[in-house]
Structure 1
Amino acid sequence: MASSLTTLAEIISAGIRDIESTYHNAGITPPSLDEPSHPTSPAPPTPLDNNPSLDQQKRLVIAAAAQLIASIQTPVDVLKESVGSLYTAATLGFVIDIKLADVLNASGSKGLHVDEIAAITNVDASHLARVLRYLATRHIFRELSPDVFTNNRISALLASYQPLEEVNKNKLARFDAAPSAAHTSHYADEGLKIATFFSSYLQTHTEYPLPSTKPSTPPTTSTSAAMNGNGKRFAGDIISDGINITSLNPGDVVVDVGEPHLRYVVQDLDAQISAAKKFWDEHCPDAIRDQSVRLQVHSFFDPQPIPSAAIYFLRIVTHNWPDTDVRNIMSQLKAGAGRASKLVIFDVLAHHTCRSPSLSWDQPHASHASGPNGSNGSNGPNGPNGSNGSNGSNGSNGPNGSNGSNGSNGGGDHSHSSVSNGGPNGSRDHSHSNGSNGDASGSSSSSSSSSVPYPLLGNLGIAGAGIDTIVDMHMLALFNGKERTEADFKKLGEETGWKLESVRPGVLATLVYSCT
């Protein structure tokens, strides 16, 4: 029998062959870390960016490569690299603060010497060299020659793609077109600060050590931009498929879905609704004027003002809250629900690292070879993004399937579920997503975690649940929130009068409840 090392190597080799073949057949060169950055805009998408089969092969290679490294590297080095990764967050936050990726973009492919960077950023050249060398060692930035650095395919994502003088003049707007930089800045700022209290918080169960991280606090600019950009991972069809839009009748009450026979009532707290009104006035004023969209101030901790809806849904809401609060939210919805009402939760499913064949739906989204896993396609050309910084809000979800405020993880108000009143007039244009075709939920006929090839972890490790487990720790540190397993969601339903009927896995899972 082949050793686990040999098996891991074979998974990598087979995956690379398939990946290179897919690119070759499409007439596209496989991506390189050393691709030059684009000075004025992010790298353009390729036809293979949202290819589900290719995505699956990449995940298997990544999972096997990470496990092979962990197997071969000495345990002490694994621990040292892991604990030292705090400096990755710190250095990334620093380079974003000094707008280094923008500085390097302006220099073109020839790069800049640290002395030149120092003159522009007013930072010591020696410090710059050491920080950049630390990051380049981890394949973020590229050292062309001694102390001469340029962007690579990864660091280019940290650029704002605005003229440097504009970035310096308007710091609040620098993340508008740079969601990756915003996301990184949020983790390097709020995340890194709160993480210092992590151990003592878990041991003492005290209140949040930093009041600024409570969900009721308005978010930073980077947090709002990060969450808005993060929401674009999820194709609009996840929502329409998840609530079975074709089964609804005119007049049914549903949530934020672009269909011609539905109207929308977007619910949130006062601050988010005020921001949403401004956004809708700027981007889709007709929807407000003809009342195809109505903005309603509501806290989901209070009784639901629209009773007996056909469907209530919570989109990227529950992970912001501990079980006690989620039970309260679900109980309020149950109290307002009719006998035929459904509750649909769209959120990330946590997956066990061990094999879990006993759970019929418990499978990492990475294992779905037939679904696009919530591709990065835009969520409708015209749908506004709603209020920035709401905590798990559906924000102002545009009639074209836009994602609203996408659930801010770092602040904003309590941001609640939205409901929509069906009406004969409906909204005008209902294209949900420009993402890849296929089942937007990412579901498929692939099997559960028990079918993940030996000896990979049941959740595919960092390739399948790496980001999800990071977010889980982030939610725990910030709000005492959590990413939940299927069993967790089932238990919450049982405790609040909802029966979990079905789970559709994907990068954003769909959990459908009925009244008991």
Structure 2
Amino acid sequence: QTDFDLSYGLTGQISLQPQHIHHFATSPHDVTTATMTRAADAVSNRLLKLGELIQTNITQLIESRRAVAATGNGTESSDLPPWSVFNAQRALQAATGSLTELISQPENRLLEVSSQYFEARALHIAADARIPDLLAETAPGGVPVVLLSAKVGIEARKLSRLLRCLCSIHIFTEVEPDVFANNAVSAWLVDNEPLRAYILLFGLDLYTASDHLPRALHDSVKGSSYAVDQTAWQDALGVSKSRWDWLEEKTSASDLREGCNAAVQGTTDTDTAARTPSAPGAGGQGRDAAAASPKTPYPGVFGTELSRVVNSGVGDGQPISRPEHAIFSLAMVGGGRVFGRAHLHDFPWASLGAATVVDVGGGSPLLFETLPFNRMDSVPLVITLQFSALDVDLYFGRIEAVTDVTGITGGFCLQLSHLYPDLKFVLQDRGPAINKAHNEVWPRENPAALAAGRIQFVVHDFFEKNPVPEADVYWLRYVLHDWSDDYCVRILSGIRQSMGPRSRILICDQVMNTTHGCSDLPPAPEPLLPNWGYYTRYSHQRDLAMMAIINGIERKPDEFRELVERAGLRLRKIWDCRSQVGLVEVVLPNSEL
């Protein structure tokens, strides 16, 4: 018998084809009724354990949410769930992945995953067209697709199919045939420009880079390289410069319209070369002066982002900043909102007393700064530094207010300064950013801290020795994941030279785990995968994105340990946080902590 259907008492079945039998026996002839029974029992036991875990965590989630609603203050921040809710959420998300594995036909599941990029593409299109905002402008009964079609310029039947694809994964809802409305998920995009930008970020040059990743992995040079300018992204753009250099170039409306995304219309920031230094043995990392092809595999921005430029009346040859630059800047605020709040509360900052926190590099390799703004009177610092008034009108004209400082250079310290009034800070960055922070940001956002001398501003290149000796905390947020190992060792070594016996480095990055688990991280409860499986999908997706565009790495604990030891340091602790982004504490080998 070569085909078995094993009933396990729940909806669904396991189909054992001949090629599957080796999991249970040495050859097809060894398959017995007892073997098949054991296989069925194993699946049944996992399903029953999953059912118990799901029921337990659903109960926990409901009770915790009721408690929060009753007290009104069940967490440190309205945007941060209590630990009980967070643990229940990630357990339930992980359980959905395990459940999918056990109840799906394997071939169906494989086909589903192989084509999921079309779901992502549908979301990119919907976000670009501002479908959530359009739906929010009408009554709760929904909007007929023909009306949406007229507003966004996508043929009605095709738009309906795009939205129904998203409805089927519970983004939007179809209240009746071809009539759509927001649901609890899509509603988060209403008037949420930072989150929209974060979604668009993955639908632009990053998306095209993923298309070139298979060839890059097999390329004789790029396949083994960890240089910032030897990735799939270079193939996607038809250039050999780094993505950081490209983002800061000028372009034109005609180039955007024609998809000429490699053509340089101006010069880049003079600091750019310093941000892409040569790693030991990596070769040159600066800009490529050779003429680029006028057409690139990457087609460029689309939909409303392209229309904004094309219909603006800007002269075809007039230099303008790349729209991807503005989108990235705003997306950093969106990412900060999603992942950054936990770090304000899940490390014991209050226990440090009057400690000094040095923010090294501000948390982004481009050192973008984004502040609350309302048109030209208070715009993102990245615009005032690198964007013209024309760029503001083109890329930020619709935004009326963003009241979040999570994406700015030094924004984390600004938040800490309000929550922990004893802490002192040193903000390190490039000269223009430091000047803005000193003269505009802190006087507006926390003038009392500035007047009390709690904040200092220092121009610094994080590849050099840190100028602040024996600080209590050196804060590295979203820095190391942008760089391959040799670069990271240089960054850490520069800090080590200034550390004292009671100093620590806090690395704020994703901390990856294997599906086998590791001793540095608490495992998920059985029968879940030890690394929380399905819950960590985005972490792995972002890891591959970093690989494709800049050879960055989201690291496992042993990889962090290897880095810090190469830099003459010791990994002291990994802090579990209510986020997919963790904290890695690093000290000197002879630390007194």
Structure-1-length-normalised TM-score: 0.68
Bigger share in helix: 2
Distance in 2 separating the partners of 1:19 and 1:220: 42
8 Å Cα contact 2:50/2:99 also seen in 1: no
8 Å Cα contact 1:183/1:225 also seen in 2: yes
Name the residue aligned to 1:182. 197
Distance in 1 separating the partners of 2:431 and 2:173: 46
For residues 29-108 of structure 1, the aligned pairs below 5 Å read 50-108=81-139
1:352-402 Cα deviation digits (max 9, x unpaired): 10143xx2x2x2xxxxxxxxxxxxxxxxxxxxxxxxxxxxxxxxxxxxxxx
Query: What is the letter of the counterpart of residue 474 of structure 1?
Result: A
Name the residue aligned to 1:354. 516
How much has 1:49 moved relative to structure 2? 7.1
How much has 1:110 moved relative to structure 2? 1.1
- Report which structure shows greater RCO (CA 8 Å, sep ≥6): 1
Name the residue aligned to 2:427. 266
Distance in 2 separating the partners of 1:126 and 1:291: 62
Distance in 1 separating the partners of 2:80 and 2:491: 37
How much has 1:189 moved relative to structure 2? 1.9
8 Å Cα contact 1:157/1:181 also seen in 2: no
Name the residue aligned to 1:136. 167
Name the residue aligned to 1:246. 351
How much has 1:200 moved relative to structure 2? 2.3
User: Structure 1 residues 55 and 15 mapped into 2: Cα distance closer, same or farther (>3 Å)?
Assistant: farther
Match of 2:203, SS state, is helix
8 Å Cα contact 2:61/2:84 also seen in 1: no
8 Å Cα contact 2:354/2:424 also seen in 1: no
Name the residue aligned to 2:557. 486
Distance in 1 separating the partners of 2:350 and 2:97: 40
How much has 1:488 moved relative to structure 2? 0.8
How much has 1:514 moved relative to structure 2? 2.2
| 1:154 lines up with 2:185 in the alignment | yes
8 Å Cα contact 2:357/2:475 also seen in 1: no
Of 563, 579, 585, the match for 1:512: 585
Distance in 1 separating the partners of 2:444 and 2:198: 25
Match of 1:140, SS state, is coil
8 Å Cα contact 2:80/2:342 also seen in 1: no
Distance in 2 separating the partners of 1:220 and 1:111: 34
Query: What is the letter of the counterpart of residue 316 of structure 1?
Result: Y
8 Å Cα contact 1:11/1:64 also seen in 2: no
1:257-302 Cα deviation digits (max 9, x unpaired): 5344443221112354355454334433454455432332211012
Name the residue aligned to 2:505. 343
How much has 1:459 moved relative to structure 2? 0.8
| 1:229 lines up with 2:334 in the alignment | yes
Name the residue aligned to 1:443. none
8 Å Cα contact 1:9/1:64 also seen in 2: no
Name the residue aligned to 1:461. 533
Name the residue aligned to 1:116. 147
Matched residues, percent identical?
Answer: 25
User: Structure 1 residues 10 and 194 mapped into 2: Cα distance closer, same or farther (>3 Å)?
Assistant: same
Name the residue aligned to 2:43. 5
Distance in 1 separating the partners of 2:554 and 2:106: 28
Distance in 2 separating the partners of 1:479 and 1:87: 24
User: Structure 1 residues 477 and 27 mapped into 2: Cα distance closer, same or farther (>3 Å)?
Assistant: closer
| 1:214 lines up with 2:250 in the alignment | no
Distance in 1 separating the partners of 2:570 and 2:444: 41
Match of 1:300, SS state, is coil
8 Å Cα contact 1:195/1:477 also seen in 2: yes
Q: Which has the larger radius of gyration?
A: 2
Name the residue aligned to 2:258. none
Query: What is the letter of the counterpart of residue 197 of structure 1?
Result: H
1:112-160 Cα deviation digits (max 9, x unpaired): 1111111222221122111112211222111122211111111212222
How much has 1:482 moved relative to structure 2? 0.9
Distance in 2 separating the partners of 1:245 and 1:17: 37
Structure-2-length-normalised TM-score: 0.60
8 Å Cα contact 2:95/2:534 also seen in 1: no
8 Å Cα contact 1:5/1:68 also seen in 2: no
Choose 150-159 or 486-495, whichever is displaced more.
Answer: 150-159
Query: What is the letter of the counterpart of residue 125 of structure 1?
Result: A
Distance in 2 separating the partners of 1:262 and 1:135: 46
Pairs aligned (count): 394
Match of 1:188, SS state, is coil
Q: CA RMSD in A?
A: 3.2
User: Structure 1 residues 338 and 52 mapped into 2: Cα distance closer, same or farther (>3 Å)?
Assistant: closer
How much has 1:13 moved relative to structure 2? 3.1
User: Structure 1 residues 305 and 140 mapped into 2: Cα distance closer, same or farther (>3 Å)?
Assistant: same
